[in-house]
Amino acid sequence: MKLFPVIDWPLLGRLFWSFFKMGPVTFGGGYAMIPVFHQEVVEKRGWLEEEEVTDLFAIAQSTPGAVGVNASTFVGYRIAGLPGAIAALFGVLLPTFLIVLVLSVSFLAVRDQPKIKAAFLGIRPAVVALIVYAGIRVGRTAIRDAATLVTAIGVLVLLIVTGINPVFALLMGMAFGLAVVPLRLRWTGTDVLAGKPGKTKGYAEDYFFGDGI
The pLDDT, as a whole number, for residue 133 is: 79
| Residue 198 in domain | no
The pLDDT, as a whole number, for residue 15 is: 93
| Residue 207 in domain | no
The pLDDT, as a whole number, for residue 189 is: 67
| Residue 157 in domain | yes
What share of the chain in percent tops pLDDT 90?
A: 10
Collapsing DSSP to helix, strand or coil, 97 comes out as: helix
Q: HSE on the CB side for 192, CA within 13 Å? A: 20
In this structure, the answer to whether residues 88 and 123 fall within a common structural domain is yes
In this structure, the answer to whether residues 153 and 94 fall within a common structural domain is no
Q: What is the pTM of this model?
A: 0.56
In this structure, the answer to whether residues 93 and 154 fall within a common structural domain is no
Domain boundary, last residue among 142, 176, 200: 142
Nearest to 17 by CA among 93, 88, 96: 88
User: Phi and psi (nearest 5°) for 107?
Assistant: -65, -40
Residue 114 or 109, more confident: 114
Residue 154 or 116, more confident: 154
Tell me the residue range of the domain where 184 lies: 144-190
Tally of structural domains, the chain: 2
Residue 16 or 101, more confident: 16
The answer to whether 77 and 85 are in contact (CB under 8 A) is: yes
In this structure, the answer to whether residues 82 and 28 fall within a common structural domain is yes
In this structure, the answer to whether residues 94 and 164 fall within a common structural domain is no
In this structure, the answer to whether residues 74 and 169 fall within a common structural domain is no
In this structure, the answer to whether residues 92 and 114 fall within a common structural domain is yes
In this structure, the answer to whether residues 37 and 128 fall within a common structural domain is yes
Burial 13-42 (b: 16+ CB within 10 A, else e): ebbbebbbebbebbebebbbbbbbbbebbb
> How many Å apart are CA 96 and CA 109, to the nearest integer?
20
The answer to whether 209 and 50 are in contact (CB under 8 A) is: no
Instruction: Evaluate if residue 118 carries a pLDDT over 90.
Output: no
In this structure, the answer to whether residues 73 and 154 fall within a common structural domain is no
What share of the chain in percent tops pLDDT 70?
A: 81
The pLDDT, as a whole number, for residue 16 is: 94
Instruction: Evaluate if residue 65 carries a pLDDT over 50.
Output: yes
In this structure, the answer to whether residues 50 and 109 fall within a common structural domain is yes
Which H helix or E strand runs over 163? none
In this structure, the answer to whether residues 76 and 166 fall within a common structural domain is no
The answer to whether 75 and 41 are in contact (CB under 8 A) is: yes
C-alpha distance from residue 187 to each of 3, 22, 183, 184 (Å): 42, 45, 6, 5
In this structure, the answer to whether residues 40 and 100 fall within a common structural domain is yes
Collapsing DSSP to helix, strand or coil, 204 comes out as: coil
